Amino acid sequence: MFELMKRLWRNPLTAFYIALVLLILIAWEARAFLSLALFTIIFIYLGNAAITRIEGRLHLHHLWATLLVYLLFLVVLVAAFSQIIPPLVSEAAHLPHTIDKIIVTYPQLQTMFTKMVKNLSQNASVISNGKTLFTSGLGQISRFSSGVETILLAFFFGFIFNLTKGQLQVFAHAFTKSRFAGLFVPMGQLIMKFVQIFGTVIETQLLICTINTILMVLGLWLIGMPSLLILGIMVFFLGLIPVAGVLISLIPLSIVAFVTGGLIRVIAVLIIIVLIHMFESYFLHPRLMANATNLPIFVTFITLIVSEQIFGAWGLLVGVPLVAFLLDVFDVQLKPKHVAAESKDA
């Protein structure tokens, strides 16, 4: 029995799978920080890719390249939101006047609304549900502010990571020379493997957001919506948020549509959003994710459904790279090795 244990311990796969189990346990215990960790990985990966390209093309020092990239990130974010928020506030300010005009045009709407409010005010269950809804709304606002704080903190972590990447490489290399190097080395390999797969998925998500934005702008142009550039920028950034981004973008789009075109245009916007969301969910997302990870489209589709149920909105981003990562860990070759080698040579 002792000899068997020694042989198992000396087997490189033993340390590999022990490292995998430890990482799974750590990730499970730290699940409360999942959003912060994933946003940090996204900013690190995208920042590192941009820094590497700038260093290669402009031959800048790593410090200046890092400062330039993250300064550009900030400029783009500030410019985008500064272009989005003022028009929305302006449109919202005209909303009461537009509603008054509609009531004057259709006086029966005011009668229906007054009767509905009177009926609701006399219903105790509605009042109770209203209190619950109000409390839930406050909780949603709190979570939104917490989400903004998480994104800012992840952005800061990504900046510090890429700025001090050389020091961190020396720090990580020290673990490979330690007494437990046999455990730390496979842990590092597994982390890097997941980050690479997850980064590929993020790049694919950016492509999906770009295609969705183009389709949305075309649809809004067809129904005569104003401020297409501003709305397009807003749709793109909100599209980076899985599932919730579509619902959040629906609010400002509906306000602008109602103010500029009434209920007919709001219905048209809703139809466009539903069609594009169905196109993304049932065709674009599974197909592009399948191409990015070499998973069959059916497997990708099932993974998106199951992971969304398990992890929530984040499952749409985490599920596919997690399955691809586990298949890679268990050495499941989705492409023959000679095919993969030929594609790399090409």
SS (H, E, C) the chain: CHHHHHHHHHCHHHHHHHHHHHHHHHHHHCHHHHHHHHHHHHHHHHHHHHHHHHHHHHCCCHHHHHHHHHHHHHHHHHHHHHHHHHHHHHHHHCHHHHHHHHHHHCHHHHHHHHHHHHHHHCCHHHHHHHHHHHHHHHHHHHHHHHHHHHHHHHHHHHHHHHHCHHHHHHHHHHHCCCCCHHHHHHHHHHHHHHHHHHHHHHHHHHHHHHHHHHHHHHHHHHCCCCCHHHHHHHHHHHHCCCCHHHHHHHHHHHHHHHHHHHHHHHHHHHHHHHHHHHHHHHHHHHHHHHHHHCCCHHHHHHHHHHHHHHHHHHHHHHHHHHHHHHHHHCCCCCCCHHHHHHHHHC
> Which residues neighbour 179 within 8 Å (Cβ) at sequence distance 6 or greater?
none
Torsion from C-alpha of 246, 248, 251, 254, nearest 10 degrees: -20
Q: Residue 5: what pLDDT?
A: 59
Domain boundaries defined on the chain = 14-345
Q: Which residue has the tokens 């196109």?
A: 279
Torsion of CA 254, 257, 263, 264, to 10 degrees: -120
Identify the pLDDT of residue 140: 45
Query: Do 246 and 277 touch, CB atoms closer than 8 A?
Result: yes
Question: Rounded to whole angstroms, how far apart are CA atoms 120 and 160?
Answer: 54
How is residue 167 written in tokens?
């020091």
pLDDT at 275: 87
pTM surpassing 0.85? no
pLDDT value at residue 14: 76
- Torsion sign, CA atoms 135, 85, 226, 260: positive
pLDDT at 338: 41
Instruction: Please state, as a whole number, how many other Cβ atoms lie within 10 Å of the Cβ of residue 21.
Output: 9
End-to-end CA distance of the chain: give it in Å, rounded.
Answer: 50
What's phi and psi for 165, nearest 5 deg? Answer: -60, -40
Q: In degrees to the nearest 10, what's the CA dihedral of 99, 103, 106, 112?
A: 110
Question: Would you give per-residue pLDDT tens digits along the chain (346 residues)?
Answer: 556 556 666 666 777 888 888 888 887 887 777 778 888 888 888 888 888 888 888 888 888 888 888 888 888 777 766 666 666 566 556 656 666 666 666 565 566 666 665 665 555 554 455 445 445 444 444 454 566 678 788 888 888 888 888 888 888 888 888 887 777 888 888 888 888 888 888 888 788 888 888 888 898 888 888 777 777 877 887 776 655 566 677 777 887 787 777 778 888 888 888 888 888 777 777 778 777 777 777 777 788 788 777 777 677 777 888 888 888 888 777 664 444 444 444 4
Distance CA 75, CA 298 (A): 40
Identify the CA nearest to 321 among candidates 186, 194, 189: 194
Instruction: Find out whether 306 and 326 touch, Cβ atoms under 8 Å.
Output: no
